[in-house]
Amino acid sequence: MEVKKYFGTDGIRGAVGDAPITPDFMLKLGWAAGRVFANKGLDRSKILIGKDTRISGYMFEAALEAGIAAAGVDINLLGPMPTPAVSYLTRTLRAQAGIVISASHNSYRDNGIKFFSGDGSKLADEVEQAIEEQLALDVTTVKPEHIGKASRINDAAGRYIEFCKSTVGSSLKLHDLKIVVDCAHGSTYHIAPNVFAELGAKVIQMGTAPDGLNINEGHGSTSPKALSERVVKEEADLGVAFDGDGDRLVLVDHRGCVVDGDEIIYLIACDRRREQIDFGGVVGTAMSNLGLQQALSKLDIPFFRSPVGDRNVMKELLKRGWKLGGEASGHLLCLDVANTGDGIISALQALSAINKSGKPLADLRGEIIKFPQSMVNIRVNSDVDVSNSDSVKSAVADVEAALGDCGRVLLRASGTEPVLRVMVEGENADDVANYAQTLGEVVSAAAIG
């Protein structure tokens, strides 16, 4: 298959105003996608468009709408909506595709496009390739009587709220919980607080006043410090934080300690095991903490590491027929209740597990002992395969021998910049930091040649 020019590991993303994140490209992208999906509908095709709260979303929404209409495909506008909500609504509204205008956890200066197929899953490589082939053509417009029509789905938020609640059933009641909910001024701002409140929790809101420029700024899953402080101040039972488009989650216990994706997936897996629910095993990534692997091993729960990226986790889960997976960043997959990463649904699964255990989150998170990790980034020439250097191999072997079974070394090329990430994990934080620094120096010397 040809190398894709625009689509990366998670759609198309970049700085607003820099190609391809421009209005003229978005118009053509909408037209190209319309052309591809117009051929898949038995009758008139339909594409959904949702977005997060960044200011450029309005501009790109209009451009995509124009392009899709010119291709003869109808449009349903969802307004600000979490990425997983667009996945769900694409499937339930029987659309041919869904589009999300979002740059996830990035600042308002960036934006991007994610696509979902008609079944709510991410696009296959061959479909992305087909869209890129259309992008190479000149835009044309169908006959006036065939131009696509746009309409707004006014009850989209309500539909999604009910779906989220349905994933835990009527047995979950949160009346005894005070929860601080941080929506990162992003697309969950009008949904997540309502989900938890309707289940009975006393909800204290944070990051629910988007102005187009403050998405992810000092709030949300990538900046949980403010949430930690608020949980302690309010004497809340726990805190919940999402990123700008609602597909990532971190928790905070009543002491203000952050609970990351590794700990949350362990919490959910333990609950599934107690309830005798067959989920196969857990898929993590190369970056998943060794503590997660060891804790799951003690419960005889299979664990497998995929390459970094939720797309890779999903691929491995489907291959193995397993149901649980995710990344320390909080992008979690619970495929027995949802077919894509969903922060709100993951939070509900975690809350259900906490509720059934009868223990506070602080006690449950203590069941997994995380290992210290240290990472250094070394700039390298993309033409040089530093990891195959004899000096690097020797240095890695020395560190691995010193760590034994209680640590590991990972060299990983960045997917977005000419950087090799050197990660060392082990029992002692000082040793880990020193090993990472030493390896970094060897890699840097090898990169210079």
Q: Which residues are catalytic?
A: 104
**Three-class DSSP category at 374:** strand
Cis peptide before 20 (omega within 30 of 0): yes
Strand-pair partners of 285: 306
Q: What are phi and psi of 269, to 5 degrees?
A: -65, -40
Burial class of residue 418, CB neighbours in 10 A (0-12, 13-18, 19+): middle
Is residue 331 a contact partner of residue 247, using CB atoms and an 8 Å limit? yes
For residue 52, the tally of other CB atoms under 10 A from its CB is 30
For residue 126, the tally of other CB atoms under 10 A from its CB is 8
Is residue 85 a contact partner of residue 41, using CB atoms and an 8 Å limit? no
What token pair was written down for 200? 């009975």
For residue 331, give every residue at least 6 positions away whose Cβ sits within 8 Å of its Cβ, in sequence order, or none. Answer: 247, 248, 261, 310, 313, 341
User: What CA–CA distance (Å, rounded) separates 111 from 109?
Assistant: 7
What token pair was written down for 431? 């040793």
User: What CA–CA distance (Å, rounded) separates 126 from 106?
Assistant: 27
H or E element at residue 270: helix 261-274
Burial class of residue 298, CB neighbours in 10 A (0-12, 13-18, 19+): exposed
User: What CA–CA distance (Å, rounded) separates 288 from 332?
Assistant: 12
Extended beta strands in 229-276, E state: 238-242, 249-253, 258-259
What token pair was written down for 323? 């149901």
Cα dist from 71 to 7, 63, 64, 141, 409, whole Å: 21, 13, 11, 6, 50
User: What CA–CA distance (Å, rounded) separates 426 from 432?
Assistant: 6
User: What CA–CA distance (Å, rounded) separates 16 from 212?
Assistant: 13
What token pair was written down for 114? 């994610």
